[in-house]
Chains A and B, each alone.
Chain A
Amino acid sequence: MKIDIDNLNKAFENRIRLGIMSVLMVNDKVDFNTMKELLNLTDGNLASHITGLEKQGYIAINKQFVGKKPNTTFEATLDGKTAFKAHLDALEKLIKG
């Protein structure tokens, strides 16, 4: 049985990163607090994984001000979406054997 391990993307192995990407696949833009609540994370925890994904070029971070409050939103880049789809395909293949 030859399994395509190369397609399993290391960047998505972490549960939290997997979660972040899942949410961004189906939502155009998600703000920091919504993401934090969806994944049940602390600020610092989310921030570190976000930075990791941004370094890979898989997500884009937009910072802007709504009134006086800073508002950070995330979106998946095209690269990120492609990579995540490939990762899901690989996962599926693994499960189906």
Chain B
Amino acid sequence: MNFKISFAIQSTFNMSNSNHNLNDLAHIRQLMERSTKFVSLSGLSGVFAGTYALLGAFGVWFFINVVGITRCIGEDGVAMKLFGLKFQEFCFVDALLVLFLSLSTSFWLSYRKAKKSGDSIWNSLTKRVFINMMVPLTTGGIFCLLLIYHGQSIFIAPATLIFYGLALVNVSKYTYNDIFQLGIIEILIGLLAMFFLANGLLFWTIGFGLMHIIYGIGMYFKYERKQA
């Protein structure tokens, strides 16, 4: 092996040898990236998560604006009649459902993409991604529960956006750079929502709905379409 390379270099440094070195470099780059970057994330996850968020937000919006907030609240409110839940509880369950559906869809899509490219879904890298994502997210989740506990549910929309943004920024070093941008955007939207407190639902819809769909589509075309 060594002899072959030395010989080729000494003689004419021919094409095939140059190709061999180029291949080596490509191989190195690919391994470095594959071992440090979680690339099984699918852009479609974003599109699905965004859609769930839009539907969830629409549900809440529908009750507030179409049914009317006064008819929703209270022991004999619409939410109570339909689901047996207080309106606030309905919003909470609705948000949890969005979160659960988003996470399970993105796990499923990542699993599929990883299987297709022959990567394992549960390795030291995905463990690191998971932990780095979960620390800010769980903190945010508990923080929101405490907000409810103290009767400050108006701060939930900004808080979820900000903590989610921080989670994305934190995890972005292990995955596509787009996730960093998305994280920053979510944080900014969260801060805006904190300023315009009355429009929490609108900012929540933009942050979790619209932004996910935009970035999801963008990432899908950037990383998946050209490989397919």
Contact = CB atoms under 8 A, between A and B. Distances in A.
Interface stretch (A48-56, A59-67, A75-83, A87-95): A87-95
A16 B24 CA distance: 11
Please classify the interface of chain A as helix (H, G, I), strand (E, B), loop, or mixed, using the class held by over half of its residues.
helix
Given A13-B1, A38-B35, A18 B28 contact: yes
Contacts of A34: 35, 123-125
Contact-size category for B? 20 to 34
Given A27-B36, A95-B18, A37 B25 contact: no
Interface of B: 1-2, 5-6, 9-10, 13, 18, 21-22, 24-25, 27-28, 31-32, 34-36, 118-120, 123-125
A5 B6 contact: yes
Interface string A10-45: 100111001100110111001101100111100000
Contacts, number: 65
A26 B2 CA distance: 26
Given A27-B35, A37-B123, A38-B34, A95 B9 contact: no
A3 to B, nearest CB: 6
B18 A94 contact: yes
Contact of A31 (B6, B21, B27, B124): B124
Contact-size category for A? 20 to 34
Contacts of B24: 15, 18, 91
Given A18-B24, A95-B21, A10 B2 contact: yes
A83 B174 CA distance: 26
Given A10-B2, A26-B36, 6 more contacts: A22-B28, A23-B35, A26-B35, A30-B124, A37-B119, A88-B28
3 cross-chain pairs, A with B, having the tightest CB-CB distances, nearest first: A22-B31, A22-B28, A23-B35
Contact of B27 (A18, A27, A30, A33): A18
Q: Counting chain B CB atoms within 10 Å of each CB, which of A1, A34, A38, A94 scores highest?
A: A94
Contact of A95 (B22, B35, B36, B123): B22
A91 B32 contact: no
Nearest to A8: B5
